[in-house]
Each structure stands twice: as C-alpha cells, then as structure tokens.
A and B are shown apart, each in its own frame.
Chain A
Amino acid sequence: MSCSRMENKILEYVDSRLKESERVEVEKHLATCAACRLRVNEFRAVSSLLDELPVIEPSPAFDLRVHARVAAEPVKQSWWAWFPAPRVAIAAAMLLLATVWVGTRPNPAPQIAQDDIPVLENLDVLSNFDVLSELPQPVQADDGGQTNPQM
C-alpha cells in the first residue's frame, strides 16, 4: 500500500472501522512507513482532544418551546377533507338521482277531465253571446274625478 492510499484508510483505521483484511494491509504499511505511523498517532491525539469538549444540555424550556411551536401549527387538511361524510354524500347522490329521474321522465299530454266539458261549453256560449256586445260601453271617469252628466 502507498502513502497516498493510506489517506483514505487512516481515519477508519484510527476509528477501528476497517475490515479485518484492510486493517492487516494498513498495519503492514505502517510497519515500514514512519511518516504514516506518526500521522496515525497524531490523528489519534486529535480524536482524543475532540473528546475533551463538554456536552451541553438543552435549556429546561426547550421541550415547552417545541411543543408550543407544534401546537401553533395550523391543522393540515388533506384534499379528502373537502369531501362530505359518507351518509351526507349518499343522501346528496340520491337526491341528485331523483332530480335527474324526475327531470328526464317523459311528460304526458294534458288531458281534459270529463267534468270540465260542460264548463268549456258554457264558456264558448258566453263568448259568442250577441246581447252582451249590444250593452252601452262603460264611461271612464275624467281627471277631476267628476261623473258623466249623461249617466
């Protein structure tokens, strides 16, 4: 293994994340390369120094703030929410079907009932009754509201 190939392996070696076969290969190189050996030791030192940083704890109000922000979220409605409840939808569909059925039903021709025939005959006689046409025409009242002196 060359020193340049070591660059991709060195950190995994320090972290003990290499496969067994790769580890053996790296150690073979380290046995013969002082520069890479030094680098491995220095990387181990860096890794150890990074462990010295203290861990901080979130503030006591952290959870409350998250829950408050979550609670303030608008309720998300999916497009299914626009559909009515099943019972309402079924009732609406049935009403629509009934309307369509009534609207498309063939309209029967109007029939004259037997009881209506004498009334129609009387109306015909009355409309052709000459005596009625000979009666004097009614006189309209004038603007002043006075009655016609001939009357």
Chain B
Amino acid sequence: MARSDVQLMLDVKAGDEQSFTLLLHRYRSPLVNFLYRMVRNREQAEDLAQEVFLRVYRAREDYVPSAKFTTWLFRIATNLALNSVRDTRYQRMEISLDAPVTVDAEEGEEKTLDVAEKNPNIEQHLVEETRKKMIRHAIEKLPEKQRAAVLLHKYQELDYGEISKILQCSESALKSLLFRAYETLRVELAPLVAQHGK
C-alpha cells in the first residue's frame, strides 16, 4: 500500500532520503504544469518547481502535519509563482521602455509549423493550435489570484477549503473569485463557448 504524502514527509523528516524522491516523483508533473500555466515559461516553471522541492526539503525538520501536504506544497508554489509573475511584469515594463519586443519567446515556441508541415491535415492542425492558444491566452489574461484559483480548482482538483487556505482567503471569497474568473473566461472564449453549445 502506498504511503500517504504526510507519512512520506514524516519519513523525510526522520532522515529517509528515498521518501523525498517518492514525493518528487508524485508531484513533479502537477507542480511543473501548475507553474507553467502560471508563469507561461517552461524553463522558469521548472526552476520554480525545483525551488518548491528545495524548500520542502529545507523545512523537513520543522514539518508538522497540521494540514494536507498538497495544501502546503501548492501554497509554496503559488507564492513563488505570484512573486515571479510580478517580478516578470516589472521586468517587461522596464524592457518596453528600452526596446520594443518583437517576438515573444513563448509565442515562438507555439509556432510549430514544422509539425504542421508533417501533418497532412494542416488546416485542422492550425485550427486546433489557434483554439489552444485562445484558451491559454484567456487564462493568461486573468488577474494572478484568479488564475491561481482556476488552475488549482480545475487542474489540481483541490477542494474549496484547500484552495482557500493556499490563497489565504475565506471560502466565500474564493467562490466569488472563481465565479468572476469563469465569467471572464466565458466572455474571452465566447466564440468557442458558442461552438461548444452547438
């Protein structure tokens, strides 16, 4: 039977390095995906995910299982992501004063024309890519806290109590936050939402 996250963390606290590796394997993918969707840069997302694991390791001796492990883990990740997004925003503002940004690195990554060339149904491929890009941009345009709430709710499937602890707000405030986020997404994705209804 698989050991629970809390048990693994207590084993790490007791000096079992192998349990840390198990936690790493269990959460590396959810963390990298969450952070990637928060910061929109793969390399940066991996750096931040490494930092999350490092902080977990550093805190092992003081670890007390007072809350769910995922609440603690994603709270660290969310705080790092929010700080990173804010720092990046300031950096972008500084860059925009000096020189115009012509090509967004992430946008460049998304232009997978070589893949499209190999795909016989290029039109369908481009439609799918455009659709995904619209969804990504709609999420990206959400205010940071709303974005974090949607990602934790939709992709990590955490319950409202957990998410409200991660975002340090009340459950009713979280419900209101999520409602506003879905309202924004509904408007931003209106063409796709309309297609979906057909």
> A residues bordering B, Cβ < 8 Å?
7-8, 10-12, 15, 17, 39, 41-43, 45-50, 52-59, 62-63, 65-67, 69-70, 73, 76, 78
Given contacts A11-B175, A58-B49, list 19 more A-B pairs with CB under 8 A: A8-B172, A11-B179, A45-B193, A45-B196, A49-B196, A50-B185, A52-B131, A53-B37, A53-B136, A56-B32, A56-B33, A58-B28, A62-B46, A63-B21, A65-B46, A66-B28, A70-B54, A70-B57, A76-B61
> Given the complex of chains A and B, what is the CA–CA distance between A69 and B24 in angstroms?
13
Give the residue name and chain of the A residue nearest to B150 (CB). Answer: A50
Give the residue name and chain of the B residue nearest to A9 (CB). Answer: B175
Are B57 and A58 in contact, with the CB atoms below 8 A?
no
> Given the complex of chains A and B, what is the CA–CA distance between A30 and B156 in angstroms?
28
> B residues bordering A, Cβ < 8 Å?
20-21, 24-25, 28-29, 32-33, 36-37, 42, 46, 49-50, 53-54, 57-58, 61, 131-132, 135-136, 139, 150, 153-155, 159-160, 172, 175-176, 178-179, 182, 185-186, 189, 192-193, 196-197
The 3 A-B residue pairs with the shortest CB-CB distance, nearest first, are A45-B196, A45-B193, A58-B32
